[in-house]
Amino acid sequence: MSAAGRRWGRRQRALLWAVLLAAWEAAWGQLRYSVPEEMPKGSFVGDVAKDLGLQLPELRERDAHVFDTGRRRYFFLDLGNGHLSMMEQADREQICAAASKRVLNFEILVKRPMNIYKGEVEILDINDNSPSFPERSSVLEISEYTAPGTRFPLQKAHDPDIGLNSLQNYECSESNYFTLEVKNGDDGVKYPELILVKSLDREQQTAHNLILTATDNGSPVKSGSTMIQIIVLDGNDNAPEFTQSVYKVTVREDVAVGSRVLQVTAIDRDEGPNAEVKYWFFKIPEKFEKTFKLNPKSGEIEVTQNLNFEEREFYELVVQARDTGGLSSHSKVLIKVVDVNNYIPEIIIMSVFSPVPEDTPLGTVIAIFSVQDRDSGANGEVQCSISESHPFRLEKSFDNYYSVVTTELLDREQVSEYNVTVRAADGGSPPLQSSAVLALRVLDVNDNAPVFAQERYSARLAENNAAGALVLTVRASDEATRW
Ligand SMILES: *[C@@H]1O[C@H](CO)[C@@H](O)[C@H](O)[C@H]1NC(C)=O
């Protein structure tokens, strides 16, 4: 081929690459679907083929794949009909127990040319849970000398649904002595409190029964109730009093199990056994009881389980101090958890285009990867880099996606393979790091003409030689080698 002809061939190929490149750049799209929670396995989520404008054979030929961004796989892509479906039943309360997010993210990767599409599936809440109380009935002992206006925190109900489907209100049965007040806590949770409005008289009535009902606002409304029995104590002593109405403390999520986080104290002005105070958690959720222990004698609260900021940032506990005479009072303990940089950034290689043809034009995408870090804030912000000595550059595509593109023409005869190291470091102090290697081979393109070993060959032949006899051997070599 003449020199001019060869250049033309390269230009045509470069043009083709440029077209593919443009397609790649245009293809960062977003798909959005929503499904009600608890749809059974195999339920239809969305028609991916239609929404991406891809024909069915194309999906298959281009090796379409779905990736779940989370740790569990919820979706599969049926290449037969182009539908995205549920691989597993998704219970919103389970997915969202830790975070308040209600979307599952996925990516669809198609090759030749390489396109990546981001998608999210919103899991819609259905009112599948009733508010419920940890106990069906409870006893509250109150001295007959208790002053009107005194407040008694009640146990909270729990409803794992969200929005209107979640707990909206509390109501209490009629009483001449008590009213109910519903307070909004710092954490957005509603707290029922009973207020004494009229002095109790043990000689007149020794016990009062109330029914506390919690309701949501779903359609239909669901509710749950608990019975509260109030026993009026013969009042000749003082109830213990906490030194603070709220105790606040901040702990690192990596606090050692067994560490003391706080001490609560209540003082009883009585003398003798009536002044002996013991401490208890007051009807806190069972899982909190596994996380913290309250020493009944000293009032010290210690951690009995590893904390995890990513699962829970805030604990609100109610503590009760009770004297031997049965009188009690309550206080709140707010424990705030601070994030510690405990997850290393993860590099997820989504695709590597290896081998790379050696005449690949500058700026061609040769690999795609994403990074994830499960920490929060700066601890979860990841910076990426690649080794600089190679003819490649890192480009941030969107969010946490990166592509590696060529910055020079590759020449297989000079370097036939590259190991490109990708490094990821988070913004923690100190930062946590990880790395991955992209192994790239360079594909030979016939850009060298073969060269004969000799410029001129000559041979002597005897006449009348037999047909097929060897005349001469010629040799040529090519810088390019095949594999
Ligand atoms: C790349 O890594 C592989 C596996 O570790 C090794 O065999 C190969 O020699 C490396 N190539 C280069 C060019 O460093």
303 and 414 assigned to the same domain: no
Q: Give the closest residue (by CA) to ligand 1 atom 1.
A: 419
Ligand 1: centre distance to CA 387 (Å): 14
Band of residue 125 on the pLDDT scale cut at 50, 70, 90: confident
Which residue out of 419, 422, 437, 440 has the highest number of ligand 1 atoms within 8 Å of its CB and is therefore the one to mutate?
Answer: 419
Written as six digits, the tokens of 424 are 């990821």
- pLDDT confidence tier of residue 20, bands split at 50, 70 and 90: very low
Tens of pLDDT, residues 129-178: 899 998 889 888 888 888 899 888 888 888 888 778 888 899 999 999 99
Nearest CA to ligand 1 atom 14: 419
* pLDDT tier for residue 459 given thresholds of 50, 70 and 90: low
Same domain as 407, residue 365: yes
Total domains in the fold of the chain? 4
pLDDT of residue 159: 85
Task: Give 420 Cα–ligand 1 centroid separation in angstroms.
Answer: 10
In a domain, 467, yes or no: no
Least confident of 291-295, 362-366, 436-440: 362-366
Q: Are residues 351 and 289 in the same domain?
A: no
What's the 371 CA to ligand 1 centre distance in angstroms?
24
Other beta carbons within 10 angstroms of residue 57's beta carbon come to 9
| Rounded Cα–Cα distance for residues 108 and 48 (Å) | 9
Residue 35 carries which side chain, given as an amino acid letter? Answer: V
Which pLDDT score, from 0 to 100, does residue 420 have?
92
CA–CA separation, 4 vs 168, rounded Å? 79
Q: CATH code at 103?
A: 2.60.40.60
Report the pLDDT value the prediction gives residue 227, as an integer from 0 to 100: 94
Measured by CA distance, the residue closest to atom 10 of ligand 1 is: 419
How remote is the CA of residue 114 from the centroid of ligand 1, in Å? Answer: 26
Q: What is the mean pLDDT of residues 196-214?
A: 90
Do 414 and 390 form a contact (C-beta atoms < 8 A)?
no
Give the Cα separation of 397 and 384 in Å (integer).
Answer: 12
Do 201 and 286 fall into the same domain?
A: no
Regarding whether 218 and 174 lie in a shared domain, the answer is yes
* 196 vs 210: CA distance, rounded Å: 13
User: Which of 338, 354, 372 marks a domain boundary?
Assistant: 338
> According to the model, what pLDDT value does residue 24 have?
45
Neighbours of 32 (CB within 10 A): 12
Q: Is the pLDDT of residue 323 over 50?
A: yes
- Ligand 1 atom closest to 419 (CA): 1
Task: Report the residue among 417, 418, 421, 440 best suited for mutation to probe ligand 1: largest number of ligand atoms under 8 A from its CB.
Answer: 417
Q: Which atom of ligand 1 is nearest to the CA of 439?
A: 1
Mean pLDDT of 333-349: 90
Task: Identify whether 11 is part of a domain.
Answer: yes
Arithmetic mean of pLDDT, 14-29: 45
Q: Higher pLDDT residue, 233 or 251?
A: 251
**Ligand 1 centroid distance, CA of 24 (Å):** 29
Residues with CB under 6 A from ligand 1: 417, 419, 439
The rounded distance, in Å, linking the Cα atoms of 140 and 228 is 7
* 260 phi/psi in degrees, rounded to 5: -85, 130
- Residue 477 belongs to some domain of the structure: no
pLDDT range class, residue 333, cuts 50, 70, 90:
very high
Average pLDDT over residues 88-112: 70
Q: Does residue 227 belong to any structural domain of this protein?
A: yes
**pLDDT tens digits, 32-74:** 898 888 888 888 999 988 888 888 888 888 888 887 766 677 8
* Mean local confidence (pLDDT), 415-437: 92
Q: Are residues 78 and 28 in the same domain?
A: yes
Specify if 31 maps to a domain: yes
355 domain-assigned:
yes
Residue 468: which region, alpha, beta or left (left: phi > 0; alpha: psi -120 to 50)? Answer: left
Tell how far the Cα of 344 is from the centroid of ligand 1, in angstroms. Answer: 25
Phi/psi for 385 (5° steps) reads -150, 160
- The span from the CA of 381 to the CA of 242, in Å, is 42
The pLDDT assigned to 183 comes to 85
Ligand 1 atom closest to the Cα of residue 418 is: 13
| The domain boundary residue, chosen from 235, 258, 279 | 235
DSSP for residue 158: B
Confirm if 69 and 101 have CB atoms less than 8 A apart: no
> How many Å lie between the centroid of ligand 1 and the Cα of residue 158?
57
Dihedral angle sign, alpha carbons of residues 280, 283, 284, 289: positive
Between the CA of 440 and the centroid of ligand 1 the distance, in Å, is: 10
Has residue 394 been placed in a domain?
yes
Do 318 and 224 belong together in one domain? no
pLDDT at 153: 86
* Cβ atoms of 297 and 280 closer than 8 Å: no
Question: Does residue 119 sit in the same domain as residue 4?
Answer: yes
Provide DSSP, 307-334. --TTT-SEEEEEEEEEETTS-EEEEEEE
Mean pLDDT of all residues in the chain?
A: 81
In a domain, 474, yes or no: no
Please give the sequence-ordered ranges of beta strands (E in DSSP) within 158-206, or none if there are none.
167-172, 178-184, 190-196
Q: Which two tokens stand for residue 389?
A: 């000595």
97 shares its domain with 1: yes
Point out the ligand 1 atom lying closest to the alpha carbon of residue 417: 13
Distance (Å) from CA 419 to ligand 1 centroid: 6
Quote the CA–CA distance of 483 and 480 in Å, as a whole number: 10
Q: Which residues fall within 8 angstroms of residue 245, CB to CB, at 6 or more apart? A: 331, 332
Ligand 1, atom 6, lies closest to the CA of 419
Beta carbons of 105 and 72 less than 8 angstroms apart: no
Q: If phi over 0 gives left and psi between -120 and 50 gives alpha, with beta otherwise, what is residue 274?
A: alpha
Q: Indicate the DSSP class of residue 299.
A: -
Average pLDDT over residues 334-345: 89
- For 260, the domain range is 242-338
- The more confident residue out of 339 and 189 is 339
Q: pTM above 0.75?
A: no
Q: Return the ligand 1 atom nearest residue 415 CA.
A: 13
User: CA nearest 85: which of 72, 73, 76?
Assistant: 76
Distance 396 CA to ligand 1 centre (A): 26
Return the residue whose CA atom lies nearest to atom 8 of ligand 1: 419
**Which pLDDT score, from 0 to 100, does residue 100 have?**
47
How far apart, in whole angstroms, are the C-alpha atoms of residue 212 and residue 335?
27
Query: Do both 133 and 183 map to the same domain?
Result: yes
Residue 322's DSSP bridge partners are 278, 328
Within this chain, do residues 134 and 121 fall inside the same structural domain, yes or no? no
Cβ neighbours around 292 below 10 Å, total = 20
Among 303, 322, 338, give the residue marking a domain's end. Answer: 338
Same structural domain, 10 and 119: yes
